[in-house]
Structure 1
Amino acid sequence: MIPTNNPREKERSIKKLFYKDSTWAIILLLPNILGFIMFTLWPVVASFFLSFTEWDLLQPIKFVGLKNYIDLFQDETFIKVFWNTIYFTVASVPLGIVFSLMLAIALNQGLRGIKFYRAAYFLPVISSMVAVAVIWQWIYNPEYGVLNFILSLVGIEGPSWLTSTTWAMPAVIITSIWKGVGFNMLLFLAGLQAIPEHYYEAADIDGATWFNKFWNITLPLLSPTTFFVTVMAVINSFQVFDSVYLMTQGGPARSTSVMVHYIYENAFQFFRMGYASAMSYVLFFVIAIITLIQFWRQKKDSIY
């Protein structure tokens, strides 16, 4: 652009540059925009329409209005898997956050070989869920699994973990926490390293104990990280599927079947696309409401 003192020339040059940059931006973003429209936006809109229909992929689509939603809340299986999902979330999220934070604090020390331990604890996050499920199925095996062997050493008879209606869900929860704890640990570790050291130095001068520093410095300054980890953990726990499908297939007696697993069954095994779409939108609204409540509580309790 040639410098000029003429205001109109300047304006035209700026507009020309703006249109040129906008054109290139649109061209470069077009593949992502098309991908979003085709593989995200269109399925979301189509599934919303399907939630008011009956369709088995073979017969013509039949509009049924709110019937799917009415049937949903009269479906005892749906109510059971909904409470299974709540159980999974209430158990896995707090435990996962506590273990992740404890692990991050332990790995935030300047010890020799600390990078190796950080990488080792993060390894399950990048491991295939299929491999993780196979390993934990062997660990939980009631006859030759290592977990029941360890329990037998202290005189405890281990249960049939994955075939027990009582212990199958705790087994899936333990596996899910083990696989995801490294990711949350990494987030907490970043948050811990962002806390200025002079806060702890001042606390040491005042004679504060380790617990006082943790309670009055670490936890308050980690609140943004804790909030993010909590929101993401809740969303992911409501969407859990792979660990359930690979380890128990929702059994025994649907004791581990969760909402996404039941949606999968209705859509791709029973071919009830409309019913599965209705369940998907119920799940969406549940997650949205819980997330909004979390944001409201964070805004109300924020120290910033």
Structure 2
Amino acid sequence: MTLIPTKKRTGGASAPPVRGMRANNRIRNDGIWPWLFLAPVLIGLGAFYLWPIVQTVYFSFTTFGVFGGTEFVGLDNYRQLIQDDQIPRSLFNTVIYTAIVLLGIPIAIFFSSLLNRPGLRFATFYRLLFFMPYVAMPTAVAIVWRTIYNGDYGILNSLLSVFGIDGPHWVSTPGFSLAALGILGLWSALGFSMIILSAGMQGIPTELYEAAQLDGASSWRQFISITVPMLTPSIFLVVIVSTINAFQLFDLLFALMGDSNPAMRETQSLVYLFYSEAFLINDKGYASAIALLIMAFIAIITFVQFRLQRRWVNHV
């Protein structure tokens, strides 16, 4: 009997490492090509987002001369932030404006539920009408609303006069200007909220409503027990976006009020205060500190909203 020698097996695990090495070599052999494809995006992010943030941080520790040039002043701008009485007032105005805008979310939920009723004709056309103010130029929208708010010949005061009410000068009266601005912001953001919420409602399974009808649930009970809980992810998205946009209030305020308005100081937002310090007073160092303060407020509020959403947002 002849014995044929065979190779000693070592576990048979040699092939997979070879394939893994070839895969790693292919990844390494891609070389610079992935970075070339990513370069336009990375360059754009660096040039228009990251670098301005770095510049703003640096400028916040400097002061600008009348004819240009910077001088390092350390924390002087931040000490001025603490002592400036315009900061609390501007922050208060911004928070009140944001709260008024957020009041439009329940209104958007109501109108969205009406537009999502089965068999409603021209629903797309109605959504378009609501969405048009959101995509319109803020300056054009503000000019139209200045005409509505005009104390002498405005449409609003004309309607109030029918009921014997003498309307005020809405834009130039400190007690009414912030409310008038908030109503304008609510109206402008309503279309965006309705589009997002309508899309969320269309994603709710119809079987839930059919089961609720079989159990005898009314339309109101279905809305409270099915629509609103299933819509919470969309509501959360609208809250986040609306809050960030409201804290960046400037264009509507500037176009509606104007620089010479006597109520501007009582209505100005944090972003308008930044604009005033940077381009009217030409104190770009202090304006940079205000810009970082705005960014910090937005970051803190967004972080808190993301933490709280675990308690009320239903992720299915």
Runs of 5+ consecutive residues of structure 1 not aligned to the other structure: none
Q: TM-score, normalised by structure 1?
A: 0.92
Q: For residue 65 of structure 1, report the CA deviation from its aligned partner.
A: 1.5
Which amino acid is the alignment partner of residue 263 of structure 1?
Answer: F
Matched, 1:54 2:68: no
Secondary structure in 2 matching 1:201? helix
**1:223-261 deviation per Cα after TM superposition (whole angstroms, max 9, x unaligned):** 111111111111111111110011103641512200000
Which amino acid is the alignment partner of residue 278 of structure 2?
Answer: A
Matched, 1:234 2:243: yes
**1:110-145 deviation per Cα after TM superposition (whole angstroms, max 9, x unaligned):** 311111111111111111112111111111112221
Matched, 1:280 2:291: yes
Secondary structure in 2 matching 1:54? strand
Kindly, what percent of the aligned residue pairs are identical? Answer: 36
Runs of 5+ consecutive residues of structure 2 not aligned to the other structure: 1-13
Give the equivalent residue in structure 2 for 1:225.
234
Give the equivalent residue in structure 1 for 2:205.
196
Matched, 1:261 2:272: yes
- Match of residue 219, structure 2, among 210, 229, 238: 210
Give the equivalent residue in structure 1 for 2:8.
none
**1:195-247 deviation per Cα after TM superposition (whole angstroms, max 9, x unaligned):** 00111111111111222111111111111111111111111111111100111
Q: Confirm or deny: 8 A CA contact 1:142 1:161 kept in the other structure.
A: yes
1:135-174 equivalence runs, <5 A: 135-174=144-183
Secondary structure in 2 matching 1:271? coil
Q: Confirm or deny: 8 A CA contact 2:101 2:189 kept in the other structure.
A: no
Q: Rg larger in 1 or in 2?
A: 2
- For the structure 1 residues 245 and 22, does the alpha-carbon distance in structure 2 shift closer, same or farther, using more than 3 Å as the test? farther
**1:246-293 deviation per Cα after TM superposition (whole angstroms, max 9, x unaligned):** 110364151220000000111111111110111111111111111111
Q: For residue 11 of structure 1, report the CA deviation from its aligned partner.
A: 4.2
Matched, 1:107 2:115: yes
Q: Confirm or deny: 8 A CA contact 2:171 2:257 kept in the other structure.
A: yes
Q: For residue 190 of structure 1, report the CA deviation from its aligned partner.
A: 0.6
RMSD: 1.9
- For the structure 1 residues 57 and 15, does the alpha-carbon distance in structure 2 shift closer, same or farther, using more than 3 Å as the test? farther
Secondary structure in 1 matching 2:93? helix
CA–CA distance in 2 between the matches of 1:113 and 1:20? 56
- For the structure 1 residues 176 and 22, does the alpha-carbon distance in structure 2 shift closer, same or farther, using more than 3 Å as the test? farther
Which amino acid is the alignment partner of residue 235 of structure 1?
Answer: I
Which amino acid is the alignment partner of residue 176 of structure 2?
Answer: W
How many residues matched?
299
Q: Confirm or deny: 8 A CA contact 1:249 1:257 kept in the other structure.
A: no
Q: For residue 48 of structure 1, report the CA deviation from its aligned partner.
A: 0.7
Q: Confirm or deny: 8 A CA contact 1:241 1:260 kept in the other structure.
A: yes
Give the equivalent residue in structure 2 for 1:184.
193
Q: Confirm or deny: 8 A CA contact 1:51 1:278 kept in the other structure.
A: yes
Q: For residue 25 of structure 1, report the CA deviation from its aligned partner.
A: 2.8
Q: TM-score, normalised by structure 2?
A: 0.89
